[in-house]
Amino acid sequence: MEEKDVIKFLNWIYYGVMVFTLIILSFMYYYSTGPQGIVIDPNSQMGIIMQYVVIGMALVFIPGGLYLVKWLKPDNLIKYKHVAMYRIVLVGGIMPVAIAAFYLLGGYRPMMWVAAMAAVAWYFTKPTLGKLEQEMKPEDPNIPTY
């Protein structure tokens, strides 16, 4: 397996998260504007719990996902591919959840800010050859990586 193959696979995952987010955005928009739309009051107990869950997920998954490669330190390309895939999904997975909460809470703006923060963090997970080489570089230059 070559580096270019790993990057190509990770790009499919990266843009797949984007497409999934756009599908959720479209579905939630049409769901919330239709007559069947359910709106939860943001100040109700259910609305507050939903806000806590979304914000808590963002607080855990965004930093955890961004530092996943540093914590797990993959030593070959196959492990790197899996760890980088989990990083993309963890960080990017907050966007559809926050967008769904935004529409379910009747356009509650703080949820869109959470989605925007996840989108910015998701941008930093974009797979490139330079990032792969930098993250696979050993701390001790005398130890080969692959």
Q: Tell me whether residue 86 is in a domain.
A: yes
% of the chain exceeding 70 in pLDDT: 95
Is 74's pLDDT higher than 60?
yes
> Distance between alpha carbon 36 and the CA centroid of its chain, in Å?
29
146: in domain? no
User: Quick check: is 48 in a domain?
Assistant: yes
Looking at the predicted structure, is the pLDDT value of residue 79 above 70?
A: yes
Domain that holds residue 110: 3-127
pLDDT above 90 for 124: yes
- Where is average pLDDT lowest: 44-58, 91-105, 131-145? 131-145
Query: Could you give the number of structural domains in the chain?
Result: 1
Q: What pLDDT sits at residue 103?
A: 93
d(C-alpha 51, C-alpha 108), whole Å: 10
Query: Range with the lowest mean pLDDT among 6-15, 33-42, 51-60, 110-119?
Result: 33-42
In a domain, residue 120? The reply is yes
Residue 93 counted as domain residue: yes
pTM reported for the whole predicted model: 0.87
- Write down the mean pLDDT value for the chain: 90
Question: Looking at the domain assignment, is residue 26 inside a domain?
Answer: yes
DSSP result, 6-71: HHHHHHHHHHHHHHHHHHHHHHHHHHHHSTT-----TTSHHHHHHHHHHHHHHHHHHHHHHTHHHH
